[in-house]
């Protein structure tokens, strides 16, 4: 069941799109602290823009809805749909010509507030653009955030835009049919793939700086995140064959399992050592391919984390999909 509520936004601002430059669409589920920080950052920095904030809640039991309403957001409710469905619902109510999809654990920065003016001007001329950026980390970021996620912010060529920070003209979003609401995860990759097939440019704009507070900070959180992301890849043969991470993870797992089994049967460590060497080579190539000019410490950390990454993705074969994890919801 879908419900709406709004206390702060005047009727004419909600329903006269000539008065709205941007429509922020933010899905939530028990995000009281994160949402307060995000909405506060928007209100403090975007003083020269006309915008609306649409919060689409998935069944929060904390004060998320109260905070959203008190800070002037339009609040929609749907506890039965996926993350893509929540974003689609928010977009269907949006009055702005440009949609800004944000996860609740993001923060916009002064650099973002400055750059968005140029983005709006460009999109008013050329609508066939999907932009955003790879989210940055806070100053107190963990070693996993610094070594695994931060290097991604410098990517120049990308084939998809994370839905945790994705900006698109509403007309293009509607032409593409929005996100696939059947997908529990990877809806941003699938959406971007359809866009690229229609000749729409995917642009990672590093000047649109946002900070992501939901990256995993421990190895356990990292494993949980990647297990969850991998579940969509194994949901069908089509997704599996079209996913490089899934194919490489499967190869990594097969090599590891065969190495262990053959070593046990032959009572010899030779096959196990061969398997470890082969998988180490896979991780080294992956780390080198991630960024062409990594420093040695980042390369070493990524080599280690790719081993964890491929193991976690392999474990997704045994993971039951449900809601998004509480950490690392979209990025990466």
Q: Residues 115-165: pLDDT tens digits? A: 999 999 999 999 999 999 999 998 888 999 999 998 888 777 789 999 999
Global pTM reads: 0.84
Please give the CATH topology (third level) of the domain spanning 3-212. Answer: Spore Coat Polysaccharide Biosynthesis Protein SpsA; Chain A (3.90.550)
Confidence class for position 19, pLDDT limits 50, 70, 90: confident
Is pLDDT of 325 > 80?
Answer: no
Query: What CA–CA distance (Å, rounded) separates 30 from 62?
Result: 6
Q: How confident is the model at residue 13 (pLDDT cuts 50, 70, 90)?
A: very low
7-212-243 Cα angle (round to 5): 110
Q: Distances from the Cα of 62 to the Cαs of 67, 68, 99, 228, in angstroms?
A: 10, 12, 27, 24
CATH 3.90.550.10 spans which residues of the chain?
3-212
DSSP state of 181: T
8 pLDDT band, cuts 50/70/90, is very low
List the beta strands (DSSP E) in the chain.
Answer: 3-5, 22-28, 51-57, 74-77, 98-102, 106-108, 129-132, 165-169, 201-204, 210-212
Mean pLDDT of the chain: 89
φ, ψ dihedrals at 117, nearest 5°: -65, -40
């Amino acid at each position: 069941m879908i419900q709406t509520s709004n206390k702060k936004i005047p009727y004419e601002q909600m329903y006269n799109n000539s008065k709205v430059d941007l429509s922020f669409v933010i899905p939530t589920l028990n995000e009281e602290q994160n949402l307060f920080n995000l909405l506060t950052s928007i209100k403090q920095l975007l003083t020269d823009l006309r915008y609306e904030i649409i919060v689409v809640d998935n069944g929060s039991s904390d004060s998320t809805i109260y905070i959203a309403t008190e800070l002037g957001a339009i609040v929609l409710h749907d506890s039965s749909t996926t993350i893509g469905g929540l974003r689609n619902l928010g977009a269907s109510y949006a009055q702005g010509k440009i949609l800004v999809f944000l996860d609740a654990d993001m923060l916009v920065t002064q650099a973002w507030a400055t750059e968005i003016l140029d983005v709006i001007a460009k999109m008013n001329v050329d609508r066939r653009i999907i932009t955003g950026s790879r989210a940055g980390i806070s100053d107190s970021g963990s070693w996993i955030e610094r070594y695994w996620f931060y290097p991604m912010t410098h990517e120049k060529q990308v084939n998809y835009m994370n839905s945790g920070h994705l900006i698109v003209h509403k007309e293009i979003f509607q032409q593409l049919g929005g996100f696939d609401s059947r997908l529990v995860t990877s809806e941003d990759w699938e959406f971007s793939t359809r866009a690229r097939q229609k000749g729409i440019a995917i642009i990672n704009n590093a000047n649109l700086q946002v900070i992501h507070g939901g990256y995993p900070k421990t190895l356990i959180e990292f494993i949980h995140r990647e297990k969850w992301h991998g579940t969509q890849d194994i949901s069908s043969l089509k997704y599996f064959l079209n996913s490089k991470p899934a194919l490489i993870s499967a190869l990594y797992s097969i090599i590891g399992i065969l190495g262990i089994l053959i070593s046990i049967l032959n009572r010899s460590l030779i096959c196990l050592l061969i398997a470890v060497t082969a998988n180490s080579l896979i991780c080294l190539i992956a780390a080198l391919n991630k960024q062409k000019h990594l420093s040695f410490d980042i390369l070493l950390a990524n080599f280690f984390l790719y081993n964890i990454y491929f193991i976690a993705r392999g474990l997704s074969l045994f993971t039951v999909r449900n809601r998004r994890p509480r950490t690392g919801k979209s990025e990466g």
